[in-house]
Amino acid sequence: MDADVANGAQQTSTPLPQDHRTSRSCLRCHRRKIRCDKARPCGACSRLGAVCTYPPAHRQAPRRARSTIKDITTRLTSLESSLIAANSGTVNEVPLQAPGTTSTRRASTSVPPVQTEEEENHAEVPSTDLLPVEELVVKDGLSSHYINEVLLSRVVRKDPDIQSALATPRSVDSDATGDMPKSLPFSPRTLLPTRSTSRVAPEHFYPPPYQAMHLWKVFVTSVDPLLKVLHIPTTQIAVYTALHQNFEAAADFHCLLFAIFFAATTALSADDVQHLLSYDKTTALGNFREGFERALEKGNVFEVPTVNALQALGIFLKSHRAINDGRSAWVFSGSVLRAAYTIGLHRDGKDFNFSLFDCEMRRRLFWFLQSLDDRVGEDHGFLYRGSHPGSNTSLPLNINDAALDPNMESMPFGESGWTEMTLTLSMCEINKAKSRLFRMLSGPKSRATDEEREAIMRTAIAHVEHLRQVCNPFVPIQRATLLVSQLIASKLHFVSRQQWLVTTTESRQADCSEEMLSKALEVLELSHKMLTDNLLGDFAWFTETYPQHHMLLYVLWHLSLHPTGPNVDRAWATIEGGFELEKSRLRRQVQNTSGSKWKVLALMEKRARQARKMIDGTEPQGSLSDMTGCGITDAGPNPRPSDDEIEAFTSRLLSDNVNFDIAEWDFTLNNWDWLGNLE
């Protein structure tokens, strides 16, 4: 039989010249793993009378030199230069030198490429086009606070009191919080690829199975309808299997389990958590967060990210915003989005032979993480950029989970009515409109007209009107879909109008009109309606992740400049209702800071209150500065202005020709002892 095999091999190989001594063994000796003398024929084959055959000779490809750190650095620097040049409209002649190749040059061009609609949606906005007036860095102890949102930066820029409030050390903030529970910051160990030194395994932090089962049901009813990144039929089987096997699961699924338990606990009231878990909500969230971080560390998910791990991170970050809106959440969400890029979520799965089911789940996850990263920055004055270059991931389909199956061979058709994905897709559509508005209005001398802005807004408003036709307002999740979409679209309409006024006009009088005040109040009233709607009680935690800081800031600014007017009483009633809701939210949640904007709002509220008192001698009830957790401290006494200065200030407020910037406060306003007079 060996001879037959050798004969077959001889027919398919090319014999070498007899005088050539090969460096490789013959096929028979190689198969028998014996020494071959490499003669022709070799000694072993001659003794057995077998045909001696050698494999065909191939020249070994030369080994390419390994890239050194210096080579990689040079190439990255060159690539960065090319990208900067491309963003500015020209491509400079930058030589690209790679190991083993000759340098090449790219011809310069000043003609920008024509962009498709998809490329336009993901186009990068050059940093040089940003308005200089929008950018501000406030020193915050050893750190600093970067702001580039129009209204907030204008408030902070020339106001020492507000800058002082933003720069208040953390120790002062903690003193002002009193008996507020401790916050839940992120641990840096989850980001660093280190070897775990903890002796406590993540499994130690799991609840008993019956409690875990109840938390899973809470997640399905109160969290998943708002964060559609999971396929519930598939995930439910995996969760039940893990519970049955005493939480034996893969490392990334441990992350997902803890994220589910954390999110479910966030959605429950403090009393419900105490009743279910037999300890308070703060302790429960702390335990699940600790287990989540240990699972991240054990799975080394930032070095080896998976879809399960990124789903867990997205769910955790969204629910964590309801209890702590510190800057760490925004930093962390950026890391998560970049981890998503490392596994190619920004590229559509159909181009990489993923299954149809996996393609759809990857689309859900990428768009959720993208919107999460964009949304978190609003809490800290970061302007939405809407820029995710290189992404071509399609939007997920408007279908229910039941229409998807891991083994499906054809994609289902998207539905026109309401589905479990309608809320997520609605937010994606409005975010796309937001991205287009940002690119249109971000230039230093934008030539965009208000008609162009309105045209983009009509697309978003038409989408909301479509939801009115397909959503049943008596079904809680469909009611939430309609109201959340209406709220986000209304806010976008207001903010884009403010941005357009800043980029196209010199006067500030237009953006301090009764019309704009009325629109801001509509947004605040809609937000208040969502928070107090009994039908939406299961989703209250989600609504609280959309605080209307921007609207409150505008209303307080308007009241500071115009303490009288047709909408003043309505404005104060709305503000006081918002303050009461914020007080109750802080009492329910476990954070000890309300973000930088609440510090600004507290000072603005004092000024608006004092401005009204100076006009008619009345003072509205309630105060934002009385809220526990704002971290506002008295900046020290200021000299009281003279009666003439007060009269001049009052007449200026009442003047029909008010034309001074929100950031350019009058001398009288700066030197008035607001805190002392309020006391």
Q: For the segment 211-226, what is each residue's pLDDT rounded down to a tens digit?
A: 999 999 999 999 999 9
In a domain, 461, yes or no: no
Q: Are 243 and 387 contained in the same domain?
A: yes
196-210, 240-254, 319-333, 635-649: which is most confident: 240-254
Domain boundary among 382, 403, 424: 403
Q: Is the pLDDT of residue 99 over 50?
A: no
Instruction: Write down the pLDDT at residue 372.
Output: 83
Higher pLDDT, 324 or 74: 324
State pLDDT tens for residues 154-189: 666 666 666 666 655 444 444 444 444 444 555 555
State pLDDT tens for residues 428-469: 888 888 888 877 776 555 677 888 888 888 888 888 888 888
Instruction: Write down the pLDDT at residue 82.
Output: 58
Residue 364: give the domain boundaries: 190-403
Instruction: Write down the pLDDT at residue 549.
Output: 75
- Helix, strand, coil percentages (3-state) for the chain, rounded to 5, are 60, 0, 40
Domain boundary among 11, 32, 48: 48
In a domain, 414, yes or no: no
Biggest CA–CA distance in the chain, Å, is 123
Domain boundary among 30, 48, 66: 48
Q: What distance in Å separates the CA atoms of residue 264 and residue 268, rounded to the nearest whole number?
A: 7
Q: Name the domain count of the chain.
A: 3
- The pLDDT mean for the chain works out to 72
Do 266 and 286 meet the contact criterion of CB atoms below 8 Å apart? no
Instruction: Write down the pLDDT at residue 461.
Output: 85
Whether omega before 41 lies within 30 degrees of 0, making that bond cis, reads yes
Instruction: Write down the pLDDT at residue 400.
Output: 95
In a domain, 54, yes or no: no
Do 26 and 53 meet the contact criterion of CB atoms below 8 Å apart? yes
In a domain, 62, yes or no: no
Instruction: Write down the pLDDT at residue 423.
Output: 92
In a domain, 492, yes or no: no
Span 518-539, mean pLDDT?
A: 89
Q: Is the pLDDT of residue 361 over 90?
A: yes
In a domain, 118, yes or no: no
In a domain, 441, yes or no: no
Higher pLDDT, 9 or 382: 382
Q: Are 663 and 517 contained in the same domain?
A: yes
pTM of the shown model: 0.66
Sign for the CA dihedral angle at 460, 462, 466, 468 comes to positive
Higher pLDDT, 287 or 386: 287
Q: What angle do CA 238, 240, 241 make, to 5 degrees?
A: 60
Q: What angle do CA 41, 46, 51 make, to 5 degrees?
A: 65
Q: What distance in Å separates the CA atoms of residue 581 and residue 531, rounded to the nearest whole number?
A: 8
Q: Are 263 and 379 contained in the same domain?
A: yes
Q: What distance in Å separates the CA atoms of residue 588 and residue 584, rounded to the nearest whole number?
A: 6
Q: Are 379 and 243 contained in the same domain?
A: yes
Span 407-436, mean pLDDT?
A: 89
3-state secondary structure 544-568: CCCCCHHHHHHHHHHHHHCCCCCCH
In a domain, 195, yes or no: yes
